[in-house]
């Protein structure tokens, strides 16, 4: 007997996916029907389940204006009135005069 | 360099009700100096900057604080709040007794002297901070050496295209909000409506309907594509009239009516246009300058906004409070709430913050030869709102209560959630605000951001920290309304302050304006300031209850008891948790109210304080202006005479090319002067500046003025307009650039003519020279003389010596009857010399000889009078 060489051909996963996409499923007809029934059964089972999500609730005291300041008394109005003018003239640049 | 503002809280000003500051220093006051009055600091007596070692109040000698006893004031409050005790020591040389000591603190009369009291338990805050204001562009041009100015604000107009149909259309609109907005057009280019389903991004239907004219204009996605080449591949000249935007503005929007629904939406939503972080950083905003040439006209804004992310050296800053708004997706809701607060739309309303504003700035001179450095101080009222109150409002009001605003940009989740009216975005809105609140508290809890460990820290005059979170441009215009005949706010533009908002190269454009209408724009900055809120409490005063002679206690010879000045009952000291009478086992019955002291007079009270954050509205600039076209070019004049007997002279008038070395044209009428003033103001030009922009609209009219007398000023031509020539051919719609003007005149009479062009916008151009024209009729031979006078020639000399001697100007001759010789008494037989006395002169009853007369000369021009007195004397030889 001579040397027997075997070589298993395997598709790359991407290539296989594209072939399936182009030529449809590689499954047999029986398998396709079986898968369809399994999917349908799962849907029926899941639809019968009522899921109740329980949220943990941590109650906090509501945030109010009183929580924003410890000093509640409003500031008193001041009786300050100011009108002043200082003028230093005859400058030939934009350099701030000394002392100002 | 900018205008430097020192914004001083009135609490920290001399004369305020915060009297303890005045007692120990740490306030501002008005001081006189050689150059005027200005506001100067009086530092806390115990600080490095202070010039004194003792408190300013002569009854005090020391103030201590014990921060070991610092404690939280209230655990129920979410922001950090503390208190620690202060001890004030009286000056034994000046405080006369325990009652005197009490009067010094609480006020009243002691002896014959009234005391105001240095202690109050009122609550004060201090948000004093420094700010920089840009120089208005026109003001900056008067300043000598103004190259140092790097902070200038310019609000000006640009007039790019004269589209009469468009201008007529928008003039008829009852609201500026219905005028096309360049940002919406640009936005629609990037997010072309609900059609772009792949991106999952869309703009609201009413915006899409507004831009596409209810879907009738299909190519709205390329309206702002610039007309790049002047000549296309087939050699045809491309100009504005070939552009899509031209057709859109002059035809499509004119003939297409918006639906009532779209109109109502636009009028409501566009009252406030909100520019959030995402939009400002998008290409639509940043690259807008590439598209502005395509719109007919607009108002342009430019200034250096305070950068939030990078400091002056360009270093990245990431820990500002403003960042927490953006990082937590609450910047939009915050901006909308800011709008609601400062336009008084919700229950949370701004307070009036009284401040003293000291502004230091340079002022130029009209001749640009010198500068003046000025420091002006004045009391002002700024609107403000507590930042934490604002966040709390945002947290509680997760449902939008106002809809008179529109966030520029596509329908993103953050924008939709802000406008949520159903509560479907409640979680999103609430969690974002809560995270912002948490980060804000974390920020102000850090001692590197807020720390007070002594009275000096509180009373130090260092400016508070601030950052600018937003800007607003308020547009006021339209017809005056109400009893006070004031104009209404038409629109507000609100901007999140991101680094892309505004700088030397980035500008904002308002295209929703009408030509020639006055609009007032007020620019505001919204600065977040971290200040301190504080008060004093639990005052206890000392009274002497004994003295200690023992040598072991020579350092503490006074045994004093603290008491509550209101009730008079003993009260524990605050400054220490235990009495030294107890710790030194000097008196087993002593409580913490009784102490041994080195000082005779003591006062303890708490300093209660907390950080406080305010948003303060600072007016940046204000300007009233209108969109205006530039003046048309000058006319070139060639005079001539019709060589016939018709007595006609004529002028050929050529419309010249643009001269960019001319100043604004001379005014003739008061309307001209107003137009000139408005133009120079709108363009930030001085009267001496050359105009570098040519008239956009074409020349339309030529005005001809004529005087019969030589004018002394160009204004003499006012009310002497003799002809207005329309240069437009109404059939071909072309405009002539050469025109003849012919007129029949009287011979031997001088006339003075002057001409000027007006453009389509009725803006007058430069006056021509004055043409002195005369037709001479010399015995039937008619010839013309034309002389040219320039404006400078009209100036009359100022008379230095108005008197001028003259003679033989008048010749007064008596009537012949006064000169007739009367000889009836003359005897001709006698020698003549004997009869001369018998001869009379004058044959009338009333002779003039020897009588005085007066001649009065009255000037027809000035009305002035000269009286000449003279006497007729009869002389004989």
Say whether residue A24 is in contact with chain B using an 8 A CB cutoff: no
Residues B845 and B757 in one domain: no
**Kind and range of the H or E run holding B603:** strand B602-625
Contact B655, B765 (CB under 8 A): no
**Which tokens in the block code for residue B517?**
């209408």
Find, in chain A, the residue whose alpha carbon is nearest to that of B148.
Answer: A94
B634 and B773, same domain (yes or no): yes
Q: How many domains does chain B have?
A: 2
Axis-axis angle for helices B331-342, B426-445 (nearest 10): 90
Residues with Cβ < 8 Å from B184, sequence gap 6 or more? Answer: B207, B210, B211, B408
Q: Would residue B835 count as lying in a domain?
A: yes
Flag the least confident range among B214-218, B538-542, B620-624: B214-218
Put simply, the chain B residues between 526 and 565 with a CB less than 8 A from any chain A CB are 533-535
Look at B137-146, B679-688, B731-740, B802-811 and tell me which has the smallest mean pLDDT. Answer: B802-811
Beta-carbon contacts of B132 under 8 Å, excluding residues fewer than 6 positions away, are B2, B3, B4, B5, B151, B306
Tokens 């307070």 correspond to B351
Distance from CA of A13 to the nearest CA of B (A): 29
Instruction: Report the chain A residue with the minimal C-alpha distance to residue B381.
Output: A81
Query: Do strands B113-115 and B351-363 pair parallel, antiparallel, or not at all (unpaired)?
Result: unpaired
What SS3 string covers B635-687? EEEEEEECCCCCCEEEEEEEECCCCCCCCCCCCCCHHHHHHHHHHHHHHCCCC
Task: Nearest by CB to A75, from B33, B124, B375: name it.
Answer: B124
Q: Do residues B220 and B188 make contact, with C-beta atoms less than 8 angstroms apart?
A: yes
Is B77 in contact with A77 (Cβ distance < 8 A)?
Answer: no
Nearest CB partner across the interface for A94, out of B354, B362, B386? B362
Q: Report the residue of chain A nearest B76, measured CA to CA.
A: A67
Q: Are strands B113-115 and B108-110 parallel, antiparallel or unpaired?
A: antiparallel
Q: Most B CBs within 10 Å: which of A75, A90, A93, as the mutation test of the B interface?
A: A75
User: CA B291, CA B293: separation in Å to the nearest integer?
Assistant: 6
Residue B875 phi, psi (nearest 5): -120, 150
Asked if B642 contacts B534 with a C-beta cutoff of 8 angstroms, the reply is no
| CATH, residue B771 | 2.60.40.10
Q: Is B35–A88 a contact, with Cβ atoms under 8 angstroms apart?
A: yes
pLDDT for position B119: 94
Question: pLDDT tens-digit profile of B552-591?
Answer: 777 778 889 999 999 999 999 999 988 887 777 777 788 8
* Average pLDDT estimate for B804-817: 78
- Suggest the residue from A82, A92, A94, A96 to mutate for an interface test with chain B (most B CBs closer than 10 A): A82
Among B36-40, B315-319, B463-467, B695-699, the minimum mean pLDDT is found in B315-319
Residue B388: closest C-alpha in chain A: A68
Do B649 and B753 lie in a common domain? yes
**B36 vs A69: CB contact, 8 Å cut-off?**
no
**B771 in the same domain as B828:** no
Sign of CA dihedral B52, B56, B62, B65: negative
Closest approach of chain A CAs to the CA of B572, in angstroms? Answer: 23
* B610 near A CB under 8 A: yes
pLDDT tens-place string over residues B525-553: 999 999 999 999 999 999 998 887 777 77
Determine, for residues B13 and A100 on separate chains, whether the beta-carbon distance falls below 8 Å.
no
Q: How confident is residue B237, by pLDDT bands cut at 50, 70 and 90? A: low
- Is the pLDDT reported for residue B198 higher than 60? no
Instruction: Report domain extents, chain A.
Output: 9-49
Alpha helices (runs of H) in B55-204, residue ranges in sequence order: 98-106, 137-141, 164-172, 182-190
- Angstroms from B373 CA to nearest CA on chain A: 5
Task: For residue B715, give the DSSP letter.
Answer: G
Residue B423 contacts A where some CB pair is shorter than 8 Å: no
B398 or B316, higher pLDDT: B398
Reduced to 3 states (helix: H, G, I; strand: E, B; else coil), residue B6 is: strand
Share of chain B above pLDDT 90, in %: 57
Of the partner residues A78, A85, A96, the one whose CB lies closest to the CB of residue B17: A78
| Neighboring chain A residues of B360 at a CB cutoff of 8 Å | 96, 100
- Residue whose structure tokens are 């995402």: B278
Burial of B227 (0-12, 13-18, 19+ CB in 10 A): middle
Q: Which residue of B has its CA nearest to A94?
A: B145
For residue B196, pLDDT over 60 is answered with no
Beta carbons of A94 and B122 less than 8 Å apart: no
pLDDT at B877: 66
Asked if the model's pLDDT at residue B400 lies above 70, the reply is yes
Q: Which tops the pLDDT comparison, B855 or B241?
A: B855
| Residue B329 reports pLDDT greater than 50 | yes
- Continuous segment of H or E residues that includes residue B283: helix B283-286
How close is the nearest chain B Cα to the Cα of A88, in Å?
A: 5
Tell me if chain B has a CB within 8 Å of the CB of A98.
Answer: no
- Residue B850 inside a domain? The answer is yes
In a domain, B607, yes or no: no
Q: Are residues B750 and B837 in the same domain?
A: no
pLDDT digits (tens, 9 = 90+) for B813-825: 888 888 888 888 8
Whether B436 shows a pLDDT value over 90: the answer reads yes
Name which residue leads in pLDDT, A91 or B842. Answer: B842
Instruction: Let me know whether B636 and B782 are in one domain.
Output: yes
- pLDDT of the residue at A1: 47
Amino acid A25: pLDDT: 66
The mean pLDDT value for B299-311 works out to 84
User: Do the domain assignments include residue B526?
Assistant: no
> B77, B431, B444: best mutation site toward chain A, by most A Cβ within 10 Å?
B77
The closest CB to that of B36, out of A74, A76, A85, belongs to A85
B139 touches chain A (CB under 8 A): no
Nearest-CA distance B575 → chain A (Å): 21
Query: What confidence score (pLDDT) does residue B221 get?
Result: 80
Q: Which of B11, B30, B396 sits opposite A82 (nearest CB)?
A: B30
pTM given for the model: 0.82
Checking if the pLDDT of B194 tops 60, the result is: no
- The C-alpha atoms of residue B348 and residue B385 are separated, in whole angstroms, by 8
**Of A47-51, B12-16, B404-408, minimum mean pLDDT range:** A47-51
Q: How far apart are the first and last CA of chain A?
A: 110
Q: H-helix or E-strand containing B614?
A: strand B602-625
For B459-500, give the DSSP string.
Answer: H--PPPEEEEEEEEEEEEEEEEETTTTEEEEEEEEEEE--TT
CA of A68: which chain B residue's CA is closest? B77
What tens-digit pLDDT sequence spans chain A (100 residues)?
456 667 777 778 888 778 777 776 666 778 878 888 898 888 887 776 666 766 677 777 788 888 888 887 665 666 778 888 888 877 777 777 777 7
- Measured between CB atoms, does A14 come within 8 Å of chain B? no
Q: Residue B704 region, left (φ>0) first, then alpha (ψ -120 to 50), else beta?
A: beta
Q: Which residue of B has its CA nearest to A86?
A: B36
The answer to whether residue B448 is domain-embedded is no
Tell me which residue of B686, B668, B664, B685 sits closest to B676, measured CA to CA: B664
Evaluate whether B741 touches B702 at the Cβ level (below 8 Å).
Answer: yes
The domain containing residue B835 runs over which residues?
Answer: 816-871
Last residue of a domain, one of B736, B759, B794: B794
Name the residue among B10, B375, B608 with its Cβ closest to that of A80: B10
pLDDT digits (tens, 9 = 90+) for B260-300: 999 999 999 999 999 998 889 888 888 888 888 889 999 99
Q: How far apart are CA A60 and CA B536, in angstroms?
A: 32
Question: Residue A83: its chain B contacts at CB < 8 A?
Answer: 377-379
Residue B741 phi, psi dihedral angles, 5° rounding: -130, 120
On whether the CB atoms of residues B636 and B654 are closer than 8 A, the answer is yes
Closest residue in A to B537 (Cα–Cα): A71
Is residue B857 one of the residues assigned to a domain?
yes
Q: Answer whether residue B604 is part of any domain.
A: no
Residues B703 and B837 in one domain: no
pLDDT at site B222: 81
Query: How far is it, in rounded angstroms, from Cα B689 to Cα B737?
Result: 27
Contacts of residue A75 in chain B, CB cutoff 8 Å?
Answer: 11, 122-125, 533
Instruction: Please report which residue ranges of B297-449 form alpha helices under DSSP H.
Output: 321-327, 331-342, 387-396, 413-418, 426-445
Hey, is the C-beta of A58 within 8 angstroms of any chain B C-beta?
no
Res B797: pLDDT: 67
Nearest in space to B237 (alpha carbons), one of B251, B247, B227, B246: B227
Mean pLDDT of B655-677: 92
**DSSP codes, B838-875:** G-EE--SSS--BT-EEEEEEE-TTT--EEEEEEEB---
Whether the CB-CB separation of B724 and B704 falls below 8 Å is answered with: yes
Q: Check whether residue B716 and residue B853 sit in a common domain.
A: no
Residue B407's contacts (CB-CB under 8 Å, 6 or more residues apart) are B274, B276, B279, B332, B336, B415, B418, B419
Shared domain check, B709 and B649:
yes
Distances (CA, A) of B430 to A61, B92, B324, B426, B470: 15, 59, 15, 6, 22
Q: Is B712 on the interface with A (CB under 8 A)?
A: no
Q: Are B395 and B433 in contact (CB under 8 A)?
A: yes
If asked whether residues B658 and B728 sit together in one domain, one would say: yes
Of A67, A76, A91, the CB nearest to B372: A91
Whether residue B780 is found in the same domain as residue B669: yes
For residue A78, the chain B residues in CB contact (below 8 A) are: 10-11, 13, 15-18, 354
Cα B545 from chain centroid? 65
Does B828 reside within a domain? yes
């Amino acid at each position: 007997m001579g040397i027997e060489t075997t070589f298993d051909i395997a598709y790359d996963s991407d290539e296989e996916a594209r072939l399936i996409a182009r030529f449809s499923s590689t499954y047999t007809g029986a398998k396709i029907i079986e898968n369809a029934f399994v999917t349908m059964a799962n849907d029926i089972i899941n639809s019968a389940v009522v899921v109740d999500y329980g949220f943990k609730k941590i109650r906090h005291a509501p945030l109010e204006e009183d929580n924003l300041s410890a000093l509640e008394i409003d500031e008193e109005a001041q009786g300050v009135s100011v009108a002043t003018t200082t003028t230093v003239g005859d400058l030939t640049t934009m350099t701030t005069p000394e002392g100002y | 360099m900018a205008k430097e503002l020192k914004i001083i809280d009135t609490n920290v000003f001399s004369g305020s009700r915060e009297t303890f500051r005045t007692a120990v220093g740490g306030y501002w006051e008005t001081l006189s100096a050689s150059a005027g009055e200005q506001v100067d600091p009086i530092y806390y007596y115990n600080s490095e900057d202070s010039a004194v070692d003792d408190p300013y109040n002569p009854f005090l000698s020391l103030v201590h604080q014990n921060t070991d006893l610092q404690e939280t004031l209230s655990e129920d409050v979410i922001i950090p709040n503390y208190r620690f005790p202060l001890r004030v020591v009286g000056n034994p040389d000046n405080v006369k007794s325990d009652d005197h000591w009490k009067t010094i603190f609480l006020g009243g009369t002691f002896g014959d002297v009234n005391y105001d009291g240095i202690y109050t338990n009122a609550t004060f805050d201090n948000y004093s901070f420094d700010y920089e204001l840009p120089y208005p562009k026109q003001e900056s041009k008067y300043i000598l050496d103004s190259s140092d100015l790097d902070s200038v604000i310019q609000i000006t107009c640009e007039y790019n295209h004269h589209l009469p149909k468009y201008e007529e259309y928008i003039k008829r609109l009852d609201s500026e909000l219905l005028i096309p907005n360049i940002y919406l057009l640009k936005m629609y280019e990037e997010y072309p409506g609900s059609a772009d389903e792949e991106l999952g991004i869309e703009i609201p239907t009413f915006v899409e309907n507004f831009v596409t004219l209810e879907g009738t204009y299909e190519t709205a996605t390329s309206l702002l594509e610039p007309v790049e080449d002047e000549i296309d591949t087939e050699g045809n000249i491309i100009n504005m009239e070939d552009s899509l935007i031209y057709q859109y503005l002059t035809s499509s929007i004119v003939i297409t009516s918006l639906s009532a629904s779209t109109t109502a939406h636009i009028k409501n939503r566009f009252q406030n246009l909100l520019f959030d972080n995402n939009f400002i950083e998008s290409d639509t905003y940043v690259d807008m300058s590439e598209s502005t040439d395509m719109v007919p006209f607009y108002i342009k804004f430019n200034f250096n906004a305070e950068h939030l992310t990078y400091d002056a050296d360009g270093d990245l800053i990431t820990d500002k409070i403003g960042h927490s708004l953006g990082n937590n997706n609450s910047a939009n809701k915050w901006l909308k709430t800011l709008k609601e607060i400062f336009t008084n739309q919700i229950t949370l309303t701004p307070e009036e913050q009284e401040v003293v504003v000291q502004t230091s700035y340079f002022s130029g001179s009209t001749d640009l030869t010198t500068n003046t450095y000025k420091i002006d101080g004045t009391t002002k009222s700024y609107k403000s709102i507590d930042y934490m109150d604002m966040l709390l409002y945002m947290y509680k009001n997760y449902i939008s209560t106002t809809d008179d605003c529109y966030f520029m940009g596509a329908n993103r989740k953050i924008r939709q959630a802000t406008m949520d009216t159903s509560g479907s975005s409640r979680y999103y809105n609430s969690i974002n605000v809560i995270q912002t609140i948490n980060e804000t508290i974390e920020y102000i809890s850090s001692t590197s951001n807020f720390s007070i460990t002594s009275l000096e820290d509180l009373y130090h005059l260092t400016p508070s920290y601030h950052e600018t979170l937003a800007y607003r441009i308020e547009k006021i215009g339209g017809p005056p309304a109400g009893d006070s005949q004031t104009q209404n706010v038409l629109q507000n533009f609100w901007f999140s302050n991101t680094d892309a908002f505004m700088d030397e190269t980035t500008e904002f454009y308002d295209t929703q304006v009408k030509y020639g209408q006055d609009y007032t724009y007020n620019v505001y900055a919204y600065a977040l300031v971290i200040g301190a809120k504080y008060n004093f409490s639990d005052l206890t005063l000392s009274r002497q209850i004994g003295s200690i002679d023992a040598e072991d206690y020579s350092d503490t010879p006074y045994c004093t008891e603290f008491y509550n000045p209101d009730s008079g009952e003993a009260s524990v000291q605050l400054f220490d948790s235990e009495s030294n009478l107890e710790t030194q086992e000097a008196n087993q019955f002593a409580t913490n109210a009784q102490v041994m002291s080195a000082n005779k007079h003591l006062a303890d009270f708490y300093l209660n304080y907390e950080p406080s954050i305010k948003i303060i509205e600072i007016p940046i600039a204000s300007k009233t202006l209108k969109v205006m076209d530039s003046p048309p070019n000058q006319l070139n004049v060639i005079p001539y005479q019709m060589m016939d007997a018709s007595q006609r002279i004529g002028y050929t008038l050529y419309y010249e090319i643009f001269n960019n070395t001319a100043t604004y044209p001379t005014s003739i009428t008061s309307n001209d002067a107003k137009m000139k003033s408005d133009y120079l103001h709108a363009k930030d030009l001085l009267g001496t500046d050359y105009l570098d922009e040519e008239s956009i609209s074409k020349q339309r009219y030529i005005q001809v003025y004529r005087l019969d007398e030589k004018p002394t000023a160009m204004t003499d031509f006012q009310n002497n307009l003799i002809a207005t020539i329309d240069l437009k051919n109404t059939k071909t719609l072309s405009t002539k650039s050469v025109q003849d003007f012919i007129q029949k005149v009287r011979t031997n009479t001088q006339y003075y003519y002057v001409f000027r062009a007006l453009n389509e916008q009725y803006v007058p151009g430069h006056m021509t020279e004055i043409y002195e024209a005369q037709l001479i009729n010399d015995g039937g031979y008619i010839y013309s003389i034309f002389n040219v006078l320039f404006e400078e020639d009209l100036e009359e000399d100022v008379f230095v010596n108005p008197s001028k001697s003259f003679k033989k100007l008048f010749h007064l001759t008596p009537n012949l009857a006064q000169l007739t010789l009367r000889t009836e008494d003359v005897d001709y037989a006698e020698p003549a010399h004997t009869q001369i006395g018998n001869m009379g002169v004058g044959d009338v009853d009333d002779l003039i000889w020897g009588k005085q007369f007066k001649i009065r000369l009255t000037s027809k021009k000035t009305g002035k009078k000269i009286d000449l007195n003279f006497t007729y004397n009869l002389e004989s030889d």
